C-alpha cells in the first residue's frame, strides 16, 4: 500500500508597513496571521493593532502590555487555525511559543482532472469569504466548475 501524499501549509505572523497607511512611523503597526500554502494565502485573520489607554505603574507596564499583546496574537492565530482545522488540515509542527504553525492534509489520490475543480472551489470559496466575490458570483463559478467536472 502506498504512503499517503500530503500538502502542507504554514501559519505566520505578518505586519503591514505603516508607511503606506498614512500612519506616522513609530505608530503601532497593524498585524495579522496568514496561512500560506507555498506562496498562496489560503487563510488570514483580521488585522489587529495594539494600543493601550490604560495607565500602569512603571514597574507593571511592561509585563501588562506584553500580556495584552500575547492575548491579541493568540486570538488572531487561533482564528486562522480554527478555519484550517475545519477544512481538514491537521497540525504537525509548532513554533517556539508552542503555537501550531505547520499543518498538512492528504492529497486526493484520484488526482488528475478531479482534484483541480476541488482546489478551484476552495479558492473561490476563500475569495467569497474575503468579500472579493459576491455570493452570486461564487454560485455561478461553482456551477461552472461542477458542470465541467462531470461524472
Q: Which three cell numbers stand for residue 80?
A: 486562522
Are residue 87 and residue 120 in the same domain, yes or no?
A: no
Q: Which domain holds residue 21?
A: 1-107
Are residue 67 and residue 18 in the same domain, yes or no?
A: yes
Are residue 136 and residue 88 in the same domain, yes or no?
A: no
pLDDT tens per residue across span 119-145: 778 878 877 877 777 899 889 888 887
Q: How many distinct structural domains can be found in the chain?
A: 2
Would you tell me how many other CB atoms lie within 10 Å of the CB of residue 64?
A: 13
- Whole-model pTM: value is 0.57
Are residue 74 and residue 130 in the same domain, yes or no?
A: no
pLDDT at 17: 52
Are residue 137 and residue 87 in the same domain, yes or no?
A: no
Are residue 95 and residue 23 in the same domain, yes or no?
A: yes
In terms of Cβ atoms closer than 10 Å to its own Cβ (0-12, 13-18, 19+), residue 53 is exposed
pLDDT tens per residue across span 91-110: 999 888 888 889 999 886 65
pLDDT tens per residue across span 10-68: 998 876 554 444 444 445 556 778 888 877 888 888 776 655 556 667 677 777 777 87
pLDDT at 112 over 50: no
pLDDT at 19: 44
Are residue 99 and residue 146 in the same domain, yes or no?
A: no
**CA distance linking residue 151 with residue 149, whole number of Å:** 7
| CB 142 within 8 Å of CB 124 | yes
The residue with greater pLDDT, 118 or 12, is: 12
pLDDT at 127: 74
Are residue 93 and residue 145 in the same domain, yes or no?
A: no
Are residue 80 and residue 119 in the same domain, yes or no?
A: no
Amino acid at each position: 500500500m502506498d504512503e499517503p501524499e500530503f500538502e502542507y501549509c504554514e501559519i505566520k505572523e505578518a505586519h503591514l508597513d505603516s508607511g503606506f497607511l498614512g500612519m506616522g512611523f513609530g505608530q503601532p503597526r497593524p498585524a495579522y496571521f496568514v496561512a500560506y500554502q507555498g506562496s498562496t494565502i489560503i487563510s488570514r485573520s483580521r488585522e489587529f493593532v495594539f494600543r493601550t489607554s490604560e495607565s500602569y505603574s512603571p514597574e507593571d507596564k511592561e509585563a501588562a502590555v506584553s500580556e495584552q499583546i500575547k492575548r491579541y496574537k493568540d486570538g488572531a492565530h487561533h482564528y486562522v487555525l480554527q478555519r484550517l482545522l475545519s477544512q481538514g488540515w491537521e497540525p504537525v509542527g509548532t513554533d517556539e511559543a508552542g503555537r501550531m504553525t505547520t499543518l498538512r492534509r492528504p492529497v486526493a489520490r484520484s488526482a488528475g482532472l478531479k482534484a483541480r475543480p476541488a482546489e478551484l472551489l476552495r479558492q473561490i470559496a476563500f475569495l467569497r469569504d474575503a468579500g472579493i466575490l459576491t455570493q452570486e458570483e461564487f454560485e455561478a463559478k461553482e456551477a461552472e466548475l461542477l458542470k465541467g467536472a462531470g461524472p
